[in-house]
C-alpha cells in the first residue's frame, strides 16, 4: 500500500511540474483528489482492511493527501502569477508613443470680421437685430422704396423662390422689419447672409455677407451719420484713416452716399490695394427715406434716421489682403487657419 501511495505522490508531482495553466492544475486536482480520484479510491478501499492496518494506511494516505494539497496550492499560486504577468505583457502600452493629433479649428475670417464690426458698433450702444435669409419680395424691395422697375428685382439678379418669396439680396429688409417691431429711438446693426445671381469670380460670390445699420431718433442729421461712420472706419482700419462721402443713389435713403476710406496700406499715396486712387470704397449709407419710415408707422415730422450697409467679404479682403473671395468658401484649413 505504501508503495502505491509513493507512486501516486510521485505521479502527482510529475504531472504538476508540466502544468502551466489554472485549468490544467484543476484537472490534476480532480484526477488525484476528486470523487473518483486515485487517492480517493485508496481511502475508499480501506474498509476491507483490518483495524490495525487501516490506521497505518490511513495515516500514510492522509499524509500523501496533505502533500499533494500543498503541491497544488503552490502550483495554483505560481500559475496565477504567471498568467497575471502574461496579461500585463499583452496589455502593456507604450506611453512614449506620440498621441493622436486632433486639429483645433479656428474662427473663420468672415466671423472674425463680423465680430470686429459688431464690437465697434456695440461699443457705441447698438444692439443686434436679425432677419430671415428667405425673405418676401415686399420686405426686400417694396418696403425699401425700390421702384417696380428697379434692375436688382430682375430674375437674372435675384434668386426667386416664387413670385413673392426670394433669397434676400441685401440685409436692408431688416431695417423695415425693425421699424415695424420697435419704436424709436432705434439703434441696431444686423449682420447676415445675402444672395445674388452672380457667377463666382475673384470678387463675386452668389452668397456673401453684409452688415446693415439703422439709427432712428429725434433730430438725427447727416452730421451724425458722418461722425458715426468716420469713427467706425478709424476703429476698424486705424486712427490715421480719413473718410470721404461721395453722393450716390439708393432707393431707401435720401440723400445717399458711398463712404471711402483713405488707403490704409499706402496712406493715400496710391498702391495696388487702392488701385492707385488713394481711396477705397467701404460702404453705402444715407438718411432713411421717409417712405421707409412710413412702413413702420414712424412719425416723419418728429423722427429722422440714417442707415448704412457694408459687404463683409470686401472689408475682410481689404483688411487682411485676401485676393480671391472664393477662398472664403473652399473650407481649406491652410487658408482658414492663417487668421487667428
Residues forming the site for ligand DAH (CB under 6 A): 170, 172, 212, 250, 253, 284-286, 307-309
* Least distance between ligand DAH and beta carbon 286 (Å): 5
Q: Which is nearer to ligand DAH, 249 or 320 (CB)?
A: 249
Q: Which is nearer to ligand DAH, 141 or 250 (CB)?
A: 250
- Closest approach of Cβ 123 to ligand DAH, in Å? 20
- Strand stretches in 158-302, DSSP E: 165-167, 186-195, 207-218, 243-250, 253-262, 279-288
Give the nearest distance from C-beta 339 to ligand DAH in angstroms: 25
Question: By C-beta, is 274 or 285 nearer to ligand DAH?
Answer: 285
Distance CA 217, CA 203 (A): 36
At its nearest, how many Å lie between ligand DAH and the CB of residue 340?
Answer: 30
- Judged by phi (left if over 0) then psi (alpha if -120 to 50, else beta), residue 305 lies in beta
Contacts 24+ apart (CB under 8 A), 142-149: 143/173, 143/176, 143/292, 143/295, 144/172, 144/173, 144/175, 144/176, 144/251, 144/252, 144/292, 145/251, 145/252, 145/289, 145/291, 145/292, 146/251, 146/252, 147/251
Output 172 or 262, the one with its CB closest to ligand DAH: 172
Q: For the CB of residue 283, give the shortest distance to ligand DAH in the complex, in Å.
A: 7
> Which of 25, 253 has the CB closer to ligand DAH?
253
Please say which residue, 98 or 151, places its beta carbon nearer to ligand DAH.
151
Q: Three cell numbers at 320?
A: 487682411
DSSP-derived secondary structure for 185-218: SEEEEEEEEEE------SS--SEEEEEEEEEEEE
CA distance linking residue 288 with residue 186, whole number of Å: 12
Closest CB to ligand DAH among residues 65, 209: 209
DSSP-assigned letters across all residues of 81-99? HHHHHHHHHHH---TTSPP
Question: What Cα–Cα distance (Å) separates residue 61 from each residue in 52, 73, 166?
Answer: 14, 18, 101
Q: Which is nearer to ligand DAH, 241 or 285 (CB)?
A: 285
**By beta-carbon distance, which residue lies closest to ligand DAH?**
309
CB of residue 152 to ligand DAH, shortest distance in Å: 8
The CA-to-CA distance between both ends of the chain, in Å, stands at 91
Question: Least distance in Å: CB of 307 to ligand DAH?
Answer: 4
Give, in order, the Cα–Cα distances in Å from 145 to each of 3, 87, 135, 212. 120, 80, 16, 16
Task: Please report how close the Cβ of residue 308 comes to ligand DAH at its closest, in angstroms.
Answer: 5
Amino acid at each position: 500500500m505504501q508503495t502505491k501511495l509513493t507512486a501516486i505522490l510521485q505521479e502527482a508531482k510529475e504531472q504538476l511540474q508540466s502544468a502551466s495553466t489554472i485549468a490544467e492544475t484543476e484537472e490534476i486536482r480532480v484526477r488525484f483528489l476528486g470523487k473518483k480520484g486515485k487517492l480517493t479510491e485508496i481511502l475508499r478501499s480501506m474498509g476491507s482492511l483490518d483495524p490495525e492496518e487501516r490506521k497505518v494506511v490511513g495515516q500514510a494516505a492522509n499524509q500523501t493527501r496533505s502533500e499533494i494539497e500543498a503541491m497544488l496550492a503552490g502550483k495554483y499560486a505560481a500559475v496565477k502569477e504567471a498568467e497575471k504577468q502574461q496579461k500585463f505583457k499583452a496589455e502593456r502600452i507604450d506611453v512614449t508613443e506620440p498621441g493622436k493629433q486632433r486639429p483645433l479649428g479656428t474662427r473663420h475670417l468672415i466671423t472674425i470680421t463680423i465680430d470686429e464690426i459688431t464690437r465697434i458698433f456695440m461699443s457705441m450702444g447698438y444692439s443686434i437685430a436679425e432677419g430671415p435669409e428667405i425673405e418676401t419680395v415686399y420686405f426686400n424691395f417694396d418696403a425699401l422704396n425700390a421702384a417696380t422697375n428697379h434692375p436688382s428685382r430682375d430674375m437674372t439678379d435675384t434668386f426667386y423662390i416664387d413670385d413673392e418669396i426670394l433669397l434676400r439680396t441685401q440685409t436692408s429688409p431688416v431695417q423695415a422689419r425693425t421699424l415695424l417691431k420697435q419704436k424709436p429711438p432705434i439703434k441696431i446693426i444686423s449682420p447676415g447672409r445675402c444672395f445674388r445671381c452672380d457667377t463666382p469670380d475673384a470678387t463675386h460670390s452668389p452668397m456673401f455677407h453684409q452688415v446693415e445699420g439703422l439709427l432712428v431718433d429725434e433730430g438725427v442729421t447727416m452730421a451724425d451719420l458722418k461722425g458715426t461712420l468716420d469713427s467706425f472706419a478709424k476703429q476698424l482700419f486705424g486712427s490715421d484713416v480719413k473718410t470721404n462721402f461721395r453722393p450716390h443713389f439708393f432707393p431707401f435713403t435720401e440723400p445717399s452716399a458711398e463712404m471711402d476710406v483713405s488707403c490704409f496700406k499706402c496712406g493715400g499715396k496710391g498702391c495696388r490695394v487702392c488701385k492707385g486712387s488713394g481711396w477705397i470704397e467701404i460702404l453705402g449709407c444715407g438718411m432713411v427715406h421717409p417712405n421707409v419710415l412710413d412702413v413702420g408707422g414712424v412719425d416723419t415730422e418728429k423722427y429722422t434716421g440714417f442707415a448704412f450697409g457694408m459687404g463683409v467679404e470686401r472689408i475682410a479682403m481689404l483688411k487682411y489682403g485676401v485676393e480671391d473671395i472664393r477662398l472664403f468658401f473652399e473650407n481649406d484649413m491652410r487658408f482658414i487657419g492663417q487668421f487667428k
